[in-house]
Structure 1
Amino acid sequence: MRKRYFLLVLALPACGTAQTPARPPEVAQAQVTALPTGDIHDFDWAPGSWTLANRRLKARNVGSHEWEEFLSYNRTTQYLGGMVNVDQMDMPSKGFSGLTLRVFNPEKRQWSIYWINSKVGRMDPPQVGGFTGNRGEFYGEDVDNGLPVKVRYIWTKTGPDTAHWEQAFSYDGGRTWETNWMNDLTRTGR
């Protein structure tokens, strides 16, 4: 029980909430066990260099349909026999970079995906989940412009050298989702 409580407290401050859990840890744990599970080999395809064709919504949570498009470049490396992988995404036209840390928990059979933006310099709360076949789903909570949001990442392996990723936010507790960033990845070298 202590381990679950610690993980819940660790995630709450990053979401902009109080230090004390708003609900008993048992409720939070029930939600965690409902998340998709996966395998340590879910991201075995990812190491290497990639070019990403990005589409990002210009304004979130206002019904916008205007997208900006830009290229970014990514290099992914695996560690600890595939249990951890790290990638750095450089976005020259945007003036910042990002780092993704993915960690596999073999007991829960789930990945935790953390994002660090070079403009902010802090690790965002994790998205947790795994792959079923070529589709991975990962869920978490964060804050967007002062509003609490549920966050969803969807990864789709579309071939040995191609993949698709998208991020969506829900401002209503997960009833509706607004996709706000997606990219198509193409391997640039093995």
Structure 2
Amino acid sequence: MITSNRRLALLSAFVLTGCAAPQTSPRAPEARAEPSHAETVPSPTGDIHDFDFEVGNWTLANRRLKARGVGSQDWEEFLSYSRGTQYLGGMVSVDEMTLPSKGFSGLTVRVFNPTTRQWSIYWVNSKVGRLDPPQVGGFNGNRGEFYGEDEDNGRHVKVRYIWIKSGPDTAHWEQAFSYDGGRTWETNWMNELTRTSR
């Protein structure tokens, strides 16, 4: 029969040797998917009024690479025209762009999420008839950055839009693709926007 003192001594030894609780083996690392857009690219936030300036009529002077992702410096230049409108108190910003020399039109739909304070920008053109994956982000002052992922001729790309507001009647937009996960970027389309009465 174990006395009270002996029982206390055994219990103390049990605790001191680390046996008071079952030992667990180290956990195996959890399976982790490839880093998501949010983990690899900055996600700027913005304000519901970021695209207020876009309301109205614009003429766009476009420069677009003739071939993307091949190191080309051969650009084409053409004009396009757009008209911007807003819905839901500015939470939704829409513009329709016509490109007379290219034979198609496009529609941009921007939706503001008040919880994340970010815009999701969707593009659809009349040749394809589907919404492209969104670019997500916002403005810091007069500069906006928006990031997403898509495919370019079967190649996975990260996509970046940059907006620069340079006054009430002028703005700059550009699109760049990264074919190496965001380490380097190739700008492939730019336009200079000028407000018109058209």
Shorter-normalised TM range: 0.7 to 0.9
Superposed CA offset, 1:81-106 (max 9, x none): 00001110000000000000000000
2:87: which partner in 1? 79
Deviation of 1:29 after TM superposition, in Å, equals: 7.9
Residue equivalent to 2:196: 188
CA RMSD of aligned residues (A): 1.8
* Pairs within 5 Å for 1:20-39: 23=33, 28=36, 30-31=38-39, 34-39=42-47
Q: Specify the alignment match of 1:44 in structure 2.
A: 52
Q: Which residue of 2 aligns with 1:64?
A: 72
Q: Which amino acid aligns with 1:23?
A: A
Q: Which has the larger radius of gyration?
A: 2
Tell me whether 1:120 sits opposite 2:128 in the alignment.
Answer: yes
Which residue of structure 2 aligns with residue 88 of structure 1?
96
Distance 1:84 1:144, change over 3 A: same
Relative to the length of structure 2, the TM-score reads: 0.81
Q: Does 1:106 align with 2:129?
A: no
Note if 1:141 corresponds to 2:146: no
Letter matched to residue 78 of structure 1: Q
Distance 2:159 2:51 in 1: 20
Q: Paired residue for 2:140?
A: 132
Which residue type is aligned with residue 156 of structure 1? I
Alignment: residue pair count:
167
User: Equivalent of 1:158, from 155, 166, 174?
Assistant: 166
1:23, distance to aligned residue in structure 2 (A): 2.2
Specify every segment of 5 or more residues in structure 2 that has no aligned partner in the other structure, as ranges: 1-31
Corresponding residue for residue 3 of structure 2: none
**CA-CA distance at 1:113 after TM superposition:** 0.2
Residue by residue over 1:86-131, the C-alpha shift from the partner in whole angstroms, topping out at 9 and shown as x without a partner, is 1100000000000000000000000000000110000000000000
- Decide whether aligned partners of structure 1 residues 59 and 110 sit closer, same or farther in structure 2, where only a CA change above 3 A counts: same
1: CA distance, partners of 2:130 / 2:61? 25
Structure 2 CA distance for partners of 1:59 and 1:102, relative to 1, 3 Å? same
Structure 1's consecutive aligned runs of 4 or more residues displaced over 2 angstroms after TM superposition are 27-34
* Percent identity of equivalent pairs: 78
